[in-house]
Amino acid sequence: MITIHEKTVRGHTRGGWLDSFHTFSFGTFQDPMRMGFGNLRVLNEDRIIPGAGFPMHDHADMDILTYVTKGQLRHEDSQGNVSVINAGEAQLMSAGDGVAHSEYNASDSESAHLLQIWLIPDHSGGVPSYAQTKVPEAGDVLLAGPATSGALLPLGSQTTVTLIRAGDGETTDLARPGADRFVHVLDGLGFAEGERLSAGDGLQIPSGETTSLDWATEGAALLFTMPAPRRRLH
């Protein structure tokens, strides 16, 4: 069945330098009903105070997609990659068989606002890789997907991540035959399944279900499209 993920029931971590909301179980927030959906395992909305951030830590067997919406984020990893991700840019770190990295707010005066997304690749191991891109400022954008999809960033799975932009009164058709879908609203106000959705809300749509998002204002959302797992025949 279609599930609404209300922003008000997300997990929340708040410390001296980090204010983070978790759509799915992460860290000290553990909910057996929110352990990810399809290839989408983590969807965190982070705000980091100037100059602070995550010290060096390890990852493996995960594609980590970061989309910065405000401020700057400085990335450094054990593969020798050092970069600054500015607002309106996205980064993909495929951890492969293991990589360590740190992420800090690159500004001494402005907070950073970003989404950090963990996607499970189809295969474990492999050589870690890094990519970064500027996101076009208008229209829908295929942000990430398999290498053959023409996406800006190459994922290690058949998942696609599309940045959807819509105008007041427009409708986003969310029908994708044979696929699980998850929508995370970034901005604006819309309605789906008779429910009001605004920034921070999510919409989980299993394969076989269809719905649409009717926009009451200009808005934007991330749409994750993932092949539905095959069902065994008995």
The reply to whether 232 falls in a domain is no
The reply to whether 145 falls in a domain is yes
Using the predicted structure, report yes or no on whether residue 203 has a pLDDT greater than 80.
yes
Written as one string, the DSSP assignment of 81-103 is -EEEEETTEEEEEE-TT-EEEEE
Q: What is the DSSP letter of 169?
A: T
- The DSSP bridge pattern shows strands 153-154 and 141-145 to be parallel
The reply to whether 233 falls in a domain is no
Mean pLDDT of the chain: 96
Which has the higher per-residue pLDDT, 153 or 232?
153
Domain range for 193 is: 3-227
pTM beyond 0.85: the answer is yes
**pLDDT band at 234; cut points 50, 70, 90:** very low
Which whole number is the average pLDDT over 109-119?
A: 98
For 116, residues 6+ apart whose C-beta sits below 8 A from its C-beta are 42, 44, 46, 64, 65, 66
The reply to whether 73 falls in a domain is yes
The reply to whether 114 falls in a domain is yes
The reply to whether 234 falls in a domain is no
CATH number assigned to the domain comprising residue 98: 2.60.120.10
The reply to whether 140 falls in a domain is yes
Query: How many domains would you assign to the chain?
Result: 1
The reply to whether 125 falls in a domain is yes
